[in-house]
Amino acid sequence: MRHDLPERSIPWPLAGILLAFVLLAGAVSVVNPLFESTDEIRHYRYIRRLVVEHRLPVQGAERVRSQSHHPPLYYLLSALASGWVPSPHTPEYQQPINPFWGYRLWEVGVDNKLQYWHSPVERFPFRGGYLAAVIPRWVNVLLGAVTVWLTYRLGRRVWREHPALAWGAAALVAFTPQFLYLSGAMNNDIIAAATGTAVLLVSLEVAQEGMRRGRLLRLGLAYGLALLAKFHLVALGGIIALALALDAVKGSGGQRSAVGRRW
């Protein structure tokens, strides 16, 4: 039995969720001091390697630590988005370290707990090297919005008769504090969430409506992008195999011919 596809337009509740998410994650990207998020300086060095040297990092040959062991998709997008900005930052860039940042950090106090020294030139509106550093954060804001939208689309396929549940799922993702925080920082976790959600969505389409050429192409594209985002998403191959198996079971049950199926 063929189900009607969920609507392709963006309903106003989802539009409100997306707008609120972009504003909140954008605020995090501006307010949180640069490089204070987990491993952010190392993600930035990877991006600068691509911008300055126009090549992928050579494993084991770098003089400073970076996240160069990760797949390149997020870093390529960030390099394309920020490469036009004149910046003195090299692939070995080091923000001046605050020598007191680790002092009794478990205690509440008024002293400076930041890992790096920061100056007023790092604040909005950003310029030069600091603009080149904040643009990759904004790339993640957009990728986070894509993840929220894909979550809604996934929810509409799971709860076809209850769109409010899909809105709720999108809102749960959008307003989870850690997701907002990560969406306003440099990392490859948000693009992993976006591509992983895309794989789940297309896999569910295959399980519900069967294999078609265009659908399989979208599934292959989503999975390929997921593998270029983060290695652990290889586990989604199990979800894809399950979706294909469910489609095969439906076909063997007489709903469609498994051989000679019309594409």
Number of structural domains found in the chain: 1
The predicted structure's pLDDT at residue 2? 46
The predicted structure's pLDDT at residue 77? 98
Instruction: Classify each residue of 43-75 as buried b or exposed e, where b means 16 or more C-beta atoms within 10 Å of its C-beta.
Output: bbbbbbbbbbeeeebeeeeeeeebbbebbbbbb
The predicted structure's pLDDT at residue 120? 85
Tokens of 33: 């001091």
244 inside domain:
no
CB-based contact 30:122 (threshold 8 Å) = no
Number of Cβ within 10 Å of residue 166's Cβ equals 23
The predicted structure's pLDDT at residue 119? 85
Tokens 């050429």, located at residue: 213
The predicted structure's pLDDT at residue 9? 66
26 inside domain:
yes
The predicted structure's pLDDT at residue 21? 99
- Residue from 89, 91, 36, 90 nearest 68 by CA: 91
The predicted structure's pLDDT at residue 263? 45
9 inside domain:
no
Which residues of the chain carry a pLDDT beneath 50?
1-3, 5-6, 256-263
The predicted structure's pLDDT at residue 260? 45
The predicted structure's pLDDT at residue 140? 99
What pTM does this model have? 0.88
The predicted structure's pLDDT at residue 8? 58
Quote the CA–CA distance of 61 and 53 in Å, as a whole number: 14
The predicted structure's pLDDT at residue 7? 59
Quote the CA–CA distance of 134 and 37 in Å, as a whole number: 12
Of how many residues is the chain composed? 263
- The model's pLDDT over 35-81, given as tens digits with 9 standing for 90+, comes to 999 999 999 999 999 999 999 988 877 777 788 899 999 999 999 99
Domain that includes residue 148, residue range: 15-187
54 inside domain:
yes
5 inside domain:
no
Tokens 């090297």, located at residue: 129
CB-based contact 170:158 (threshold 8 Å) = no
6 inside domain:
no
CB-based contact 131:88 (threshold 8 Å) = no
